[in-house]
């Protein structure tokens, strides 16, 4: 049943990098919010197989520009919001 999940909002939860590995089976996930969580670049690596992901919010996390760029290489159709700096989408 969860395999059909398209939107997941984990805003301000205690999800961790290790916890994100449990999302790998959510192949229909198109929108994910991790804003306000302790997630880092290591956690983002668990998301590289989510090819349906179109938007990701990692504002107020420990994610770096390098982590975002690495994820965008794997998911070029995903728009990632990660703070006041700017939002980008891989072209």
When divided into structural domains, the chain yields a total of 1
DSSP 69: H
> Is 23 within the bounds of a domain?
no
Sequence-ordered alpha helix ranges (H) in the chain: 41-44, 65-74
Q: What is the pLDDT of residue 82?
A: 87
> Is 2 within the bounds of a domain?
no
Structural domain boundaries enclosing 35: 29-85
> Is 54 within the bounds of a domain?
yes
> Is 15 within the bounds of a domain?
no
pLDDT digits 0-9 by tens, 36-71: 999 999 999 999 999 999 999 999 999 999 999 999
Instruction: Band the pLDDT of 3: cuts 50, 70, 90.
Output: confident
Q: Is the pLDDT of residue 87 over 70?
A: no
> Is 37 within the bounds of a domain?
yes
> Is 60 within the bounds of a domain?
yes
pTM of structure:
0.89
Residues contacting residue 14 through CB under 8 Å, at least 6 positions apart: 37, 38
> Is 16 within the bounds of a domain?
no
Q: What is the pLDDT of residue 89?
A: 58
Type and span of the H or E element at 88: strand 88-89
């Amino acid at each position: 049943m969860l395999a059909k999940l398209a939107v997941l909002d984990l805003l301000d939860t205690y999800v961790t990098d290790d916890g994100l590995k449990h999302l790998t089976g959510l192949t229909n996930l198109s929108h994910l919010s991790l804003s306000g969580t302790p997630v880092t670049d290591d956690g983002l690596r668990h998301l590289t197989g989510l090819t349906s992901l179109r938007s990701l919010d990692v504002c107020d996390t420990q994610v770096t520009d390098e982590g975002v760029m690495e994820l965008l290489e794997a998911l070029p159709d995903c728009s990632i919001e990660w703070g006041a700096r700017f939002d980008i989408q891989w072209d």
